[in-house]
Chain A
């Protein structure tokens, strides 16, 4: 029996794996100690649990445990990395290069720094959602201290050429930060091979709990430092004060361990389901895939269904299928997704997009149901769409003078 509703919004968050929850439970009750309490068994027990988790987290990304700074999540990690580098390397320069499809946690942090005197270059991505390496290199100048490019995009799932980016950065002596939220635990990420200097990621996108994440900060070749953004007891080698969220960290570690063991098989299975879904939906007339088809996460597909509006489309099945739309009809601005617009999509196509995010517990039955529901709703709404009628009559909607609001 198909159980409804179906969750296909794994880029927003993932359920906790039951094995993760099981690992966490003792640290709420019996083993509740403060990992910073150095003088009694309760503290020792907590510290030991954190040490194990730190190793599990480090191992997943090919880092040394000492290079892992626990945070409250990726937004904090993004802030700490970018603001921390900006402050720490102020004497070297004030220029940061990023791109226009980064997560808001990166973009808004950059905007904040602009007010404080930073110079930020926002690279435009190519229509496939990837950055142009020549353009990146051309943007580097003597004052450049940091390149901040995401590993994989949250809306379209495209995977940036991080090893190539860091190779360029290296020759210019520039640090590389990457927001690894969508990639870590889904595809192999190795900070050494990829040449990453700093990377933020979070537990809740990889079947761990919410409210805990990590910032990887390289310790060798070069040794990277960040200025703390939260002051206090000097936890996490002085880079992030605050009592450690021990149960959360234990869960994060377990989640990383499971990803380490199962990521490859998961990616293969989920990738096949994603392809089945995508191939079926792209058979619908006037439907388009957004973002590069090849350099992409295995569990994401972002498709525009021209001449129907995304939110209206979701309403057809959102009691039974949870997913996201690039339409922002409910937001105050009424602006569609800035990521899709950055690809050069017209607002109409951006409004017409759906993001499918599959996960570890997605089944083929769920995908079959989704194909049927989405197809039916697209057809139904097109019968109701004046734009579809015009398209069918051969009228180019771009030639119509629309009254803009």
Chain B
């Protein structure tokens, strides 16, 4: 199976690899997936508390090229977005942007889950109610 150009580009030049200080109140961390499934994503957001805008985003991913690309792309999209808008990122837009084949859709689902988990972690830390999400259809 050949990878799309965009997946290859993210794989070769991943954006925003790294770690944010998870002890900080304005940093939300989402860790999703499982080593046994061959995919683990950790996605972090740092929120500007005055504006509610995501100032920085970082990821680390254990997984195939599509999983790495999905999380790299997610961090790019998160930066500069308000937390409210970030919640709306849908896995299918990741699929479209990266031209993921059906067998790799779960990588985009994982990225969406990681975003939501990071946002909820941030909300929890700041005394906000955690958002309830419907289970994604494709896992």
Residues of A within 8 A of B (CB): 307-312, 315-316, 327, 329-332, 334, 336, 346-348, 351, 383-389, 397, 400, 402-405
Contacts and interface: CB of A to CB of B under 8 A. Distances in A.
Contact of A385 (B3, B62, B64): B62
Nearest to A348: B35
Given A334-B37, A346-B36, A405 B139 contact: yes
Interface of B: 1, 3, 8, 11, 14, 17, 19, 31-42, 60-65, 67-68, 103-104, 106, 139
Given A332-B103, A383-B17, A386-B31, A347 B36 contact: yes
Contacts of B106: 334, 405
Contacts of A311: 38, 64-65
B99 to A, nearest CB: 15
Given A329-B64, A330-B103, A386 B41 contact: yes
B98 to A, nearest CB: 14
29 contacts: A309-B39, A309-B63, A309-B67, A311-B38, A311-B65, A312-B62, A315-B64, A329-B38, A329-B39, A330-B64, A330-B104, A331-B103, A332-B103, A334-B38, A336-B38, A347-B36, A347-B38, A348-B36, A384-B60, A384-B61, A384-B68, A385-B40, A386-B31, A386-B60, A389-B60, A402-B33, A402-B34, A403-B33, A404-B36
Q: B interface, by DSSP: helix, strand, loop or mixed? A: mixed
Contact of A347 (B1, B8, B37, B61): B37
Contacts of B34: 402-405
A387 B33 contact: no
Interface centre among A311, A316, A388, A405 (most CB of B within 10 A): A405
A335 to B, nearest CB: 9
Contacts of A400: 31
Given A327-B64, A384-B60, A309 B38 contact: yes
A306 to B, nearest CB: 10
Given A315-B3, A330-B103, A405 B37 contact: yes
A405 B113 CA distance: 11
A308 B67 CA distance: 12
A405 B34 CA distance: 8
Given A312-B63, A384-B68, A388-B62, 10 more contacts: A315-B3, A329-B38, A329-B63, A330-B64, A336-B38, A346-B35, A385-B60, A385-B62, A386-B62, A397-B35
A329 B68 CA distance: 13
Nearest to B60: A386
